[in-house]
Amino acid sequence: MTAKTARDALTDHPYYRYRGCAPDPDQPTRAAANPDVALDAWLPYTGDGAEPQKERFARERAAIGICRRCPVLAACHAYANTEIVDVADDGQETVRLAEPEGVMGGMRALDRHRALIARRTGTHPVTDRSLAEARSPQKQTVLAALAVELYESRVARRAGMDVRTTNWHRSALCGLLGLDKETATRDQLLLAALEYGVLPDVPRIVWDGLWPIAAAPTTDGTRQRRIAPDQPLELLTPRPAHARAGRSRTGGTRRPPQRKAAPDGTLRGLRLRVVPTPAAPALLPAPALEAAA
């Protein structure tokens, strides 16, 4: 849908004349839905200096409150978030919003731009140039290590790099293979590498398992860890038996005593104490009760 068709769908809506931000018949500078709200509440601030934050919050809150009750909210929201692509003489494309300023469609201009960035993030097409960069020696080393290791420290150790460098290469690989590093999992990155033929030959691929693992560090602090609540950040491996055993006074390892089974299946060397069962229940002396007053 182009910006023109989206705007035509809004203005041709049968309830467009009843929109909340329409001018009040008696007070043309006020909103028809609420005469206490000025029409300037939907427009960008044009006064001298910066608008006080408290006043801006109150103005935007009042405008959005009316938008939520507007009969043409859906059409207005679609038009306000429509993308327009401008192509320069050198072929460079620039994407902008149809309505980059003011409150429209129940959203502030800042929220609409954030939504635009979220839609455009990680959606770059995979080109021959990006695949060639993904086949560079450093990224091939990181991919080979990532295919067999689950955690960032082990990936870095196997790749022969520090953790920060491998994290950077993992983020770059997500972008080169058309993935969004904010949401991509390790399995998705490996599958994309297989699909585009950039994954080096490895004996076998270790997949994430039941809980996915983040493919790259994200802005919310998630690094290469399991994307699930209450999950360990690193793989929990049991300590070897010799490390768990205590040390004797002579410095050797103290081992538990070995019990050898007899031919009849019983264990020898165990000391048992047999307590006979009394023939009648034992009577315990009861404490004397004081007489009630």
pLDDT digits (tens, 9 = 90+) for 158-177: 999 999 999 999 989 998 88
Please state the length of the chain: 293
Q: How far apart are the first and last CA of the chain?
A: 94
198 within domain boundaries: yes
75 within domain boundaries: yes
Per-residue pLDDT band for 17 (boundaries 50, 70, 90) equals: very high
253 within domain boundaries: no
180 within domain boundaries: yes
Q: Which of 235, 261, 280 is the last residue of a domain?
A: 235
Range of weakest confidence among 14-18, 44-48, 88-92: 88-92
98 and 17, same structural domain?
Answer: yes
Task: Convert the pLDDT of each residue in 71-110 to its tens digit.
Answer: 999 889 989 988 888 888 877 778 888 889 999 988 999 8
pLDDT of residue 88: 81
When divided into structural domains, the chain yields a total of: 2
Tokens of 192: 């994309």
189 and 116, same structural domain?
Answer: no
Average pLDDT, the chain: 78
> Is-contact 30 24, C-beta < 8 A?
yes
26 and 97, same structural domain?
Answer: yes
What DSSP letter does each residue of the chain carry, written as one string? --HHHHHHHHHTSTTGGG-TTSBPSS-TTBBSS-TTSBGGGGSPP-SSSPPPHHHHHHHHHHHHHHHTT-TTHHHHHHHHT-EEEEE-TTS-EEEEESS-SS-BTTB-HHHHHHHHHHHHTT-PPP-HHHHHHHTSHHHHHHHHHHHH--SHHHHHHHHTS-HHHHHHHHHHHHHHTT--TTT-BHHHHHHHHHHTT-SPP-S------SS-BBSS--TTS--SSBSSTT--SS---PPPHHHHSPBPTTSSB--PPP-PBPTTSPBSS------PPPSSPPPPPPPPPPPP-
21 within domain boundaries: yes
49 and 91, same structural domain?
Answer: yes
Domain range for residue 154? 124-235
164 within domain boundaries: yes
Residue 120 pLDDT more than 50? yes
Task: Convert the pLDDT of each residue in 237-290 to its tens digit.
Answer: 444 444 444 444 444 444 444 555 555 555 555 555 555 555 555 555 555 555
112 and 7, same structural domain?
Answer: yes
249 within domain boundaries: no
Q: Which of 64, 99, 120 is the last residue of a domain?
A: 120
136 within domain boundaries: yes
128 and 115, same structural domain?
Answer: no
Per-residue pLDDT band for 203 (boundaries 50, 70, 90) equals: confident
148 and 105, same structural domain?
Answer: no
pLDDT of residue 233: 45
142 and 79, same structural domain?
Answer: no
* pTM of the complete model: 0.46
Q: Which of 201, 220, 235 is the last residue of a domain?
A: 235
